[in-house]
Structure 1
C-alpha cells in the first residue's frame, strides 16, 4: 500500500512533458513512508540520475501498464532519454491489435523492445508469421506476448529457414501448432543443431515418421546441442531401445534436458516407494517411456486406488504402464466402481484384467458392463456417472 501511495503521487506529474524538470522527485522513493529500499535505485550519484529513474518508472507504469513493483524491476534493464521511440513502439503494438495486458507482458519480459524501430524490426516478423504461416493474429499475439524472443529473430536468417525446414518434415499445420505453443525450436540455430541432429537420427535408421513425431510434439529433444543428443542416443541404446521403434524417440525426449531428467529421477523414487524394483521401473520405461515424466501426485493417485481399492498388485502395473495415463476421475474410478458392483453381485469374475476394464472405448464399456446389466442393477449408470457409490460388502 505504501508503494502504491508513493506512485500515486508520482502520477500527478506528466512524464516526459518536460523531461528532467521534476525537481527532487527522488525523495518520493527514498522517504520514510515508502517501502522502496534505496539499494533498489543504486547506482545514482546525482539528483538528475535519480530523477531520470523516477521518470522511467513512471513511464513504465502509466504508458506501458506495468505494476509499480514490476516497473521498478524492469527499469533496471532499459534506458532512454526521450519517449519518442518507446511511444512509437507502443503505438505500433496498439494499432496492430495487441491488448494492454499483452503489451505490458512484452515490455516486462523484453523491455529493450521499446527501443526498436517498429517498421524495420517488428513489422517484418509480424508480417511473416501472419502472411506465410497461416497462424491467426490472436494466436500469434498470445505467443509473442508469452515469448517476445520471436520479435528479436532475423526473418531471413532464422525464422524463414526454420519454418521451411520444419514444414518439409511435419507439414504446415503442425508447424503452426508449434508456433502457437511458442516452441523454442524457432530460436535454435538451424545449421548447428536442427539439421545435423535430424541427419544423425536418419543415419541411425530412425524412420521419417518417428522423426516427424518427435519434431511435432517434443522438438526440444532434437533442438539440443549435437553432442548432447549423441550422448542421449548412446544412453537409450544401451538401455535396449531400438531406433526402428517409436519408443526410441520417446525415450530420447524423456532423457533430454535438465527438467525431464529431474522428472525421471522423481518418478524413479516414487515407483520405488510403491515397491517396484529397478528392473520393474526399467521394464515400464521401455514399454512406455513417458511413464517417467509423470508427477508424483499422478502416479501415487492411480496406484493408490488400484492397489488399495481394487486389490491389484503394485508391480503388476509395471507390466502395463499405459494404465497410469488414464484419468483417475473420468475413467479409472467410474469403470472400476461399475466392475466392483458387478463382482459383488456375482455377475463378473474378480480376476478380470484391468486392460479389459480400462482400455476399451466408452461405447464398448457401456454396452458390455452397464447397459447389459441395467435392468438387474438400475443404479449402475448412476455409479458410472459418480452420482452413487458402490455399497460396502
Structure 2
C-alpha cells in the first residue's frame, strides 16, 4: 500500500508557478497560469515558441527541460539573454553548466549582467574560492543569485568568518547554506552573542547555528527526526555535500533538496550509489520526472531488487491488461 501511494504521488500534477517576463527591457513577475492560458494571442504564442527555441538552441537544454523552463520566463527580444550567456561564458561556465543553471533558474536570462550578476561574482571571488569552483557552485545553487549580497550574503559571510574561520565559511557558501537567507542583525548576532556571554565553546556555537537552521525548517526538537536532521546538516563537506551533489546532478533544485530533507532527513545520509541506482530506475526506466521524486523521498530507501522493481513490474502488467 505504501509503495502504491508513492507511485500515485509521483503521478500528481504540479500547480502553476510565477513567471519572469521581460518585455521592452522591463522585467516583471506574472502568473504562469494566466500567461499560458488557452486564450493567448498569436503574438504571445510566437513569443513562447521563440523562448522555447532559444532555450533549446542557445542554452543547450533538453526538450523536456526547455519546456519546463519556458514556463518560468518570457522575453520578447534576445538582448538580455545573449548578454547573460556572454557574461556567464566570461566567468568560466561551460555549456553544460549554463544549461544546468538555466534549467534550474530560467529567470537568470532576464537579469542585468552588470548590475545584478557582476557584483555577486566579484564577491564570490573575494572569498578566496577558486575561479573554477564558482561556476560549479552557482550552477548547483542558483538561488544564491536571488539573494541580496549587499544586505545578506556579504554581511553574514564576513560575520561567520570571524567565528568559524574562512575555510568553514567558504564551505557553507559551497553548499548554498540557508544561513545566508537570515538577517544578521535580528537572527544571527543576538544568538551568537548570547552564547558567547554564557561561555559556550566555539564548536557549540556552530552546533547551535545548525540547530537553529533545523528548527527554522519546522523540525520539532522533541521528535527523533530533529536529531536526524542535525546529524545530516552538521556534516562539513562529507555526506551532506555528496548527497547534495548527487541530487543536483539528477536535476533537483535547492528547494527540492530542502523539501525532501524536511520530509525525510535521512535522505541526506544515503550513499551516492544508492541514490543514483534508485533515481536511474525511477527516471530512466519508469519515466518519472526527477524533481517530483523529491515529494516522496522515502522511495529512495526501498530495496530496488526486493521491492521497487518487482512491484513496478506488477503495475506495468496490470496497466497493459487494462489497456488491452
Question: Considering the TM-score relative to the shorter chain, is it more than 0.5?
Answer: yes
Q: Which residue of 1 aligns with 2:78?
A: 83
Match of 2:65 among 65, 70, 82: 70
User: SS in structure 1 opposite 2:117?
Assistant: helix
User: SS in structure 1 opposite 2:43?
Assistant: helix
Deviation at 1:198, TM superposition (A): 3.0
1:155 correspondence with 2:149: yes
Deviation at 1:122, TM superposition (A): 0.5
Higher-RCO chain (CA-CA 8 Å, sequence separation at least 6):
2
User: SS in structure 1 opposite 2:168?
Assistant: helix
Contact 1:56 1:75 in 2 (8 A): yes
Deviation at 1:63, TM superposition (A): 0.8
Distance 2:93 2:37 in 1: 33
Cα distance change, pair 56–65 in 1 and its aligned pair in 2 (3 A)? same
Distance 1:73 1:294 in 2: 29
Instruction: Give 1 or 2 for the bigger CA radius of gyration.
Output: 1
Distance 2:262 2:82 in 1: 44
List runs of 5+ in structure 1 lacking aligned partners: 1-39, 240-248, 268-292, 297-393
Match of 1:116 among 64, 89, 111: 111
User: SS in structure 2 opposite 1:54?
Assistant: helix
Q: CA-atom RMSD, angstroms? A: 3.6
Contact 1:188 1:223 in 2 (8 A): no
CA deviations over 1:67-92 (Å, ceiling 9, x no partner): 11111111111111111111111111
Q: Which residue of 1 aligns with 2:122?
A: 127
Q: Which residue of 2 aligns with 1:95?
A: 90
CA deviations over 1:108-149 (Å, ceiling 9, x no partner): 11111111110111010101110x210011112111001112
Deviation at 1:250, TM superposition (A): 7.0
Q: Which residue of 2 aligns with 1:170?
A: 164
Distance 1:52 1:295 in 2: 43
Distance 2:193 2:161 in 1: 16
1:188 correspondence with 2:163: no
Q: Which residue of 1 aligns with 2:44?
A: 49
Deviation at 1:210, TM superposition (A): 2.0
TM-score, normalising length: structure 1? 0.47
Distance 1:82 1:117 in 2: 14
Q: Which residue of 1 aligns with 2:5?
A: none
Deviation at 1:152, TM superposition (A): 2.2
Contact 2:101 2:140 in 1 (8 A): yes
Deviation at 1:294, TM superposition (A): 5.8
Cα distance change, pair 138–255 in 1 and its aligned pair in 2 (3 A)? closer
Cα distance change, pair 251–129 in 1 and its aligned pair in 2 (3 A)? same
User: Higher strand share goes to which structure?
Assistant: 2
Distance 2:111 2:138 in 1: 15
Deviation at 1:224, TM superposition (A): 5.1
Counterparts of 1:1-393 in structure 2, within 5 Å, are 42-130=37-125, 132-199=126-193, 201-202=195-196, 206-212=200-206, 214=207, 220-223=210-213, 232=221, 235=222, 253-254=230-231
